[in-house]
């Protein structure tokens, strides 16, 4: 039996990262079309809208308490002279449940480092939110056989401040940069290989409790490949970009992905 793995944690996490898409009006329209399509979905669904769309999503979800809303980024300070930033504590007060940290676009386009990710993870956990730390190698790093080294370094530094108790609010997302927005998905075997390596790291760091930290896969997830990716070893959910912008596609991912993952979890429990 896998101890410390609660029932809610066995549910796959299906997260939609909208990036810089969907205004408040567009989000409301999206949810009107999406919600009737995911009634009774066993997935734990989380949306990451742009910060300015956050409240519109919360309002449109009011009657659906089971769906969470998070922020795509935070700054590590609580308040002060940091123009353009939002803090984890403000996000929590506004009703956020999760924060993405260290997404590859933050790293590549906005100069975020592993050290920034570490400070943000700590701020997010201190604010009582769940942190989803994103890791993943570039194509160049993969082709020079450095994928594992890069990902382990991102984990080591990014999680340096997380103690065993903190890991209960921690999720990870493995998103190979070469698979993001390219239509080129990691094969389920490639994904499983890195996910197993990440699991090893978590168990080394947190002991057997490290078995229960969900590790999501992201990178060109679509309705046609979702179930296969979710069935891969150690994949506990999906972080979806482009396909989460379309209500029908995202609902298909939420629905199609669920049964196989629940079976996998059930067989692991034995
Ligand atoms: P795509 O699904 O568009 O490849 O984006 C993945 C991603 O970056 C999710 O955070």
- Tell whether ligand 1 has an atom less than 6 A from the beta carbon of residue 239: yes
* % of the chain exceeding 90 in pLDDT: 81
Given a cut of 70, whether residue 257 has pLDDT beyond it is no
Report d(CA 241, CA 233) in Å as an integer.
22
Nearest CA to ligand 1 atom 7: 241
- Tell whether ligand 1 has an atom less than 6 A from the beta carbon of residue 240: yes
> Which of 49, 103, 237, 240 maximizes ligand 1 atoms within 8 Å of its Cβ, making it the mutation to test the pocket?
240
Query: How far does the chain reach from its first CA to its final CA, in angstroms?
Result: 6
Report d(CA 191, CA 80) in Å as an integer.
40
Residue 121's nearest CA partner among 57, 76, 71 is 76
Given a cut of 50, whether residue 218 has pLDDT beyond it is yes
| Distance of CA 67 from the midpoint of ligand 1 (Å) | 20
pLDDT of residue 263: 52
- Tell whether ligand 1 has an atom less than 6 A from the beta carbon of residue 220: yes
Question: pLDDT confidence of 25, banded at 50, 70, 90?
Answer: very high
Total residues belonging to the chain: 270
Q: Which residue has the tokens 């590790």?
A: 215
Phi and psi (nearest 5°) for 32? -60, -35
Among candidate residues 112, 137, 141, 175, the one labeled active-site is 175
For residue 175, indicate whether it is catalytic.
Answer: yes
Q: Cβ distance 4 to 212 under 8 Å?
A: yes
| Distance of CA 136 from the midpoint of ligand 1 (Å) | 12
Task: Count the Cβ atoms, other than its own, within 10 Å of residue 86.
Answer: 18
Given a cut of 50, whether residue 9 has pLDDT beyond it is no
| Distance of CA 16 from the midpoint of ligand 1 (Å) | 9
Instruction: Note the pLDDT tens digit of each residue in 32-54.
Output: 999 999 987 789 999 999 999 99
Instruction: Note the pLDDT tens digit of each residue in 102-148.
Output: 999 999 999 999 999 999 999 999 999 999 999 999 999 999 999 99
- Tell whether ligand 1 has an atom less than 6 A from the beta carbon of residue 225: no
- Tell whether ligand 1 has an atom less than 6 A from the beta carbon of residue 237: no
Instruction: Note the pLDDT tens digit of each residue in 81-93.
Output: 999 999 999 999 9
Strands (E), 11-102: 13-17, 44-48, 68-71, 98-101
Instruction: Note the pLDDT tens digit of each residue in 156-179.
Output: 999 999 998 888 999 999 999 999
- Tell whether ligand 1 has an atom less than 6 A from the beta carbon of residue 236: no
For residue 22, indicate whether it is catalytic.
Answer: no
Instruction: Please compute the mean of the pLDDT values over residues 49-68 and round it to a whole number.
Output: 92
| Distance of CA 207 from the midpoint of ligand 1 (Å) | 30
Report d(CA 242, CA 247) in Å as an integer.
11
């Amino acid at each position: 039996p896998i101890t410390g793995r609660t029932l809610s944690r066995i549910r796959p996490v299906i997260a939609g990262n909208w990036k810089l898409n969907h205004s408040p009006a567009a989000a409301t329209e999206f949810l009107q079309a999406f919600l009737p399509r995911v009634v009774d979905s066993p997935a734990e669904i989380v949306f990451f809208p742009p910060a300015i769309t956050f409240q519109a999503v919360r309002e449109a979800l009011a009657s659906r308490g089971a769906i969470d809303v998070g922020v795509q980024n935070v700054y590590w300070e609580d308040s002060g002279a940091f123009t353009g930033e939002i803090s984890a504590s403000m996000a929590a007060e506004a009703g956020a449940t999760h924060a993405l940290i260290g997404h590859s676009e933050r790293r590549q386009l906005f100069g975020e480092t592993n050290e920034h990710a570490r400070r943000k993870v700590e701020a997010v956990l201190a604010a009582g939110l769940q942190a989803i730390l994103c890791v993943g190698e570039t194509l160049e790093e993969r082709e020079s056989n450095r994928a594992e080294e890069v990902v382990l370094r991102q984990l080591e530094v990014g999680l340096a401040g997380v103690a065993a108790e903190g890991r209960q609010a921690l999720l990870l997302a493995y998103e190979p940069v070469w698979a993001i927005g390219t239509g080129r998905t990691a094969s389920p075997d490639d994904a499983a290989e890195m996910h197993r390596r990440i699991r090893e790291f978590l168990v080394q760091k947190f002991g057997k409790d490290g078995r229960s930290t969900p590790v999501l896969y992201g990178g060109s997830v679509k309705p046609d490949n979702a179930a296969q990716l979710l069935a891969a070893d150690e994949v506990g959910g999906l972080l979806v970009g482009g396909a989460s912008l379309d209500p029908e596609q995202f609902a298909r991912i939420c629905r199609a992905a669920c049964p196989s993952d629940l079976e996998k979890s059930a067989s692991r429990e034995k």
